[in-house]
Structure 1
Amino acid sequence: MGKSLGRVVVITGASSGIGRAAAHRFASEGARLVLAARSADSLEEVADECRARGAEALVVVTDVSDERQVDALAFAANAHFGRIDVWVANASVFSYGSFEETPPDVFRQVIETNLFGVVYSARAALPFFRAQGGGSLVITSSLFGKVTAPYVAPYTASKHATFALAQVLQEELKGTKIRVSAVLPATIDTPIYQHSADSPGVQMHPLPPLVTPKRVAKTIVRASHAHGPRTKVVGNMQGSLIAFNGLAPESYKRAVRPAMRVMGMRRTDEPQTRGNVFEPGGATNSVTGGWARRRRRRFLLVSAGALALLAVARALRS
């Protein structure tokens, strides 16, 4: 048990990735959890995992792009536990492709989920925080809240907006006991890339190096506390891109486009996909996306092949 003992924590996007890892972390610290996402089956799995860690967990199926559902989530949390201490606004969806190839409805839905999901969360949580004399709102933004990249226009636009919103709320709520924090993960090994809506003939892959969801979850829990960080980038190596972009923006732009094309996409024969932008993707909901494991396996295979070739070459020379 830890500092979260007894606190009531609402987590949106709790069915997979960072949200699921955060639920586990809060559960291990003794929090009482309200788990929200669109997939009822996945939420029940997460709730069972949290109960196994000794936590009490309430499941509330919620689409954060629907303001009425977010309001209902807040009322359900308060009705069940009597208060809301922490709200983690974490739900996000992703799309990959050029601006012109991204369907307008996909672009709009990414904004509705990633930005307005945070807007609705803040509007739902703040009245309860004020009524009880305080609370903590943790907003999961992204490294893309501070830098840009081609082929991820909706996501980048949404994350710039959520980071700006977090900063505005920090200023407006200064002097109150309501705390607002922004967590900006770099590339995290989650299923969001499998869930991405992709343009025809391409599939999104995460840019290395990868950070574990558990590391982001630890930061979210720290940020929820009174003396935790107000703004925190998770992923030091990619986080350095913020300084690079600030010091040499044109050089950054020249570097990021080929990086996205070479390392961020794979050519496929697949038609345009819509991922989980409109409907939940329960089959691949988990904490990690398995990307780090695949890269380790690929590295080991390449290394083994190189060693074998070296051994053959030495044998031929002898």
Structure 2
Amino acid sequence: MRLGNPVVVITGASSGIGRATALRCADEGARLVLAARGAAALESAARDCRKRGATVVAVTADVSDAAQVETLAARAVEEFGRLDVWVNNAAVGAFGRIADVPPEDFQRILDVNITGYVNGARAALARMTAQGGGVLINVASIVGETPLPYSAAYSMSKAAVRALSVSLRSELVLDARQDVSVCTVLPATIDTPFYQHAANYSGRKPVAMPPVYTADRVAKTVLRAMRHPRREVVAGGVAARLLMLQHKATPGTVERAIARQVDRTQLRRKPAATTSGNVHRSLDAGRKGSVDGGWHGRRRTARRRVLTAAVLAGAAAVVRKRMA
């Protein structure tokens, strides 16, 4: 679709990927409806978009509540007369072994990350099919293909998002609806405040595991999906794509390697306090209203390039072994 000035709804728009996407859409002249739980950070994102010339409506909403999501969609149509793009992006997470994450936190993550996307899809597709077109974009993660230890609920939810997109596309095929598209975006490790906001029951400090990419890189991928919808696209470097391919080819080898890497590089040995983070409530402190989480930079970019080269070499070795 040509962007022009479409009506775009973005959930989880107050920080990270959602905020970066909102800013990119503002630059393209989109009319925006931004949603998040935290009113102050959400209004901050709306102000930044307005400074770029966009017309913006900010709606405080918890995506796990179907009624609130329905109100969000209705508000978009009420304000702008239609709904062209819906970006399901709001998500929460927790670090810790499955046995250590409280059941109420585990369930809440699934409620936000899965049920929240289902609520968004229902509200968006009802209006898109009625008006004769639109694009639904579900932001998942490469951990939906290669789940991580200490992040079971989050990994499960992102795998479920991929399945949700497939089911929705299948239903649209059966309804002969070629005017509505469902796209899945799979970010790699992204520089956002996620690691500061997540619940933590591991006893160790979580950090972004290299290679780390900017949130704006994902935002650009989302915009490309708006213009030229694709079933599924990875947002990140070649290492992320190769990791997914390697997992399909040699799952056991990849899973063992990822387990060791997460234990060594994503969770530091430095002790960290137990916290429920933003799982049950919005956080007002720290970098809540920012796009980045401070995980990207010149040194980290250099490390990313080194790691990418190592991954490429490993992939080549696997290919040679399988061809021998």
Aligned partner of 1:231: which letter? E
Partner of 2:322: none
CA separation in 2, counterparts of 1:131 and 1:280?
34
In structure 2, the residue corresponding to 1:292 is in which secondary structure? coil
Partner of 1:213: 215
Aligned partner of 1:257: which letter? A
Partner of 1:261: 263
Partner of 1:270: 272
Per-residue CA shift, 1:189-247, capped at 9, x if unaligned? Answer: 0001111101152121111011111110011111122x332210112212211111111
Partner of 2:88: 89
Partner of 2:296: 292
User: Within the alignment, does 1:231 sit opposite 2:236 as a pair?
Assistant: no
Per-residue CA shift, 1:110-167, capped at 9, x if unaligned? Answer: 1001001100001111111111111110000000111222111000110000111001
Partner of 2:37: 38
Label 1:224 to 1:249 Cα distance change in 2 as closer, same or farther (>3 A). same
Label 1:294 to 1:191 Cα distance change in 2 as closer, same or farther (>3 A). farther
CA separation in 1, counterparts of 2:299 and 2:157?
29
Q: TM-score, normalised by structure 2?
A: 0.88
CA separation in 1, counterparts of 2:117 and 2:46?
22
Label 1:297 to 1:247 Cα distance change in 2 as closer, same or farther (>3 A). closer
Partner of 2:139: 140
Contact in 1 for aligned 2:210/2:300 (Cα 8 Å):
no
Partner of 1:204: 206
Aligned length: 297
Give the deviation of 1:271 after TM superposition.
3.0
Partner of 1:304: none
Q: TM-score, normalised by structure 1?
A: 0.90
Per-residue CA shift, 1:287-314, capped at 9, x if unaligned? Answer: 0101113955998xxxxxxxxxxxxxxx
CA separation in 2, counterparts of 1:106 and 1:244?
32
Gaps of 5+ in 1: 300-318
Aligned partner of 1:288: which letter? D
CA separation in 1, counterparts of 2:72 and 2:151?
30
Per-residue CA shift, 1:226-278, capped at 9, x if unaligned? Answer: x3322101122122111111111111122111101100102344331111111
Give the deviation of 1:3 after TM superposition.
3.8
Per-residue CA shift, 1:45-69, capped at 9, x if unaligned? Answer: 1111111111100000011011111
Q: Identity of paired residues, percent? A: 46
Aligned partner of 1:233: which letter? V
Label 1:173 to 1:34 Cα distance change in 2 as closer, same or farther (>3 A). same
After TM superposition, the structure 1 = structure 2 runs for residues 240-255 of structure 1, keeping only pairs within 5 Å, are 240-255=242-257
Aligned partner of 2:163: which letter? A
Contact in 1 for aligned 2:109/2:153 (Cα 8 Å):
yes
Contact in 2 for aligned 1:3/1:29 (Cα 8 Å):
no
CA RMSD of aligned residues (A): 1.7
Of residues 97-106 and 278-287 in structure 1, the stretch that sits farther from structure 2 once superposed is: 278-287
In structure 2, the residue corresponding to 1:193 is in which secondary structure? helix
Structure showing greater Rg:
1
Partner of 1:195: 197
Runs (4 or more) in structure 1 with deviation over 6 Å come to: none
Of residues 198-207 and 110-119 in structure 1, the stretch that sits farther from structure 2 once superposed is: 198-207
Per-residue CA shift, 1:172-199, capped at 9, x if unaligned? Answer: 1133111100000010000011111011
CA separation in 2, counterparts of 1:146 and 1:254?
14
Give the deviation of 1:5 after TM superposition.
2.2
Contact in 2 for aligned 1:200/1:273 (Cα 8 Å):
no
In structure 2, the residue corresponding to 1:184 is in which secondary structure? strand
